[in-house]
Amino acid sequence: MIKNLLTGTFIGIANIIPGISGGTIIVILGMFDKIMNSISNLFKKDNLKRKNDIIFLSQIMIGLLIGIIIFANIIDYLLNKWPNQTIFLFIGLIIFGIPNIIEKQIPKINNTLLSFTLPFTNKHKKNNANMSLSFLLIGFIIIISLFLLLSGSTSNTVILFPTINIIHLLKMIVLGIITGAATIFPGISGAMLLLIIGEYYLYKSYIARILTFQPNIIIPILFIGIGILIGVVGSAKVTSWLLNNYRRETMSLIIGLIIASSLVLIPFDITYDISLLITYILSFLGGGLIITTVEKIKK
């Protein structure tokens, strides 16, 4: 139970950090398969372990809420006080976690880690042990492309809430689906996707005003919630199928997404003097120390 609560807490914290996917933390902590399968099997008629799945996912959700509610102010303080150091801490956590991902998620890896054969051939079925370079590069290119599309986005936008109608509510469901799917799929930030399609500030404004309990705020949020549920369940089902049938390709794609998503977090537009560079390096190593310590405790 404690492990599940901690996992959820880390996922919640990750969702607060700009550009970091909660799904990345799920993979790094070695809970990816279990969470995907639990969500995917939750609505199956012949699921004999539905009660266990509900308890497990409830513990993850409680931890996630703890991470968001309790650590939101802490993370906000760190990002305001030491923004770049905080980002480098998470970059270190992700980068140092990649070897553990490869070791745990791609079975029986031998000395040849990279495969240069074409994707989805017979040699690429789940019994093959090598990592697919093709899919790793595809994942890498996806994130870099999204980052380039995002480079022209503004950092602040004034939002006027649209009139509520059927079209707008269907649009909110679509935004929720995007957010839900990105929340659990590693490497892709839901905020990044919403920024690209120009809907992030509307989404953020709705969430920020949820406690006003105004009908023009609450109703769209309810439909966003419906979309999030659809996105989470749908993404989990698709991901579970891919893992069962093309595990090596799927995990290689995810690793490419994670590597690229950590690289685009690096703040290149700042001054790197000696004193600041030392703090960045220490923060990066601190992230590595955290994930290494977690792995040792688990073992």
What confidence tens digit (pLDDT) does each residue in 19-67 have? Answer: 677 777 788 777 888 888 888 788 777 777 888 888 998 988 888 888 8
Buried b (16+ CB within 10 A) or exposed e, 256-276: bbbbbbbebbeeeeeeeeeee
Give the residue extent of every domain in the chain. 2-298
CB 139 within 8 A of CB 254: yes
Strand partners, 115: 132
Tens of pLDDT, residues 206-234:
776 777 778 888 898 899 889 988 988 88
- Cβ(261)–Cβ(131) below 8 Å: no
Yes or no: say if 33 and 243 are a contact pair by the CB < 8 Å rule: yes
pTM for the whole thing?
0.69
What is the pLDDT, as a whole number, of residue 16? 66
Dist. CA 299–CA 295, nearest whole Å: 6
Q: Burial level of 190, CB count in 10 A (0-12/13-18/19+)?
A: buried
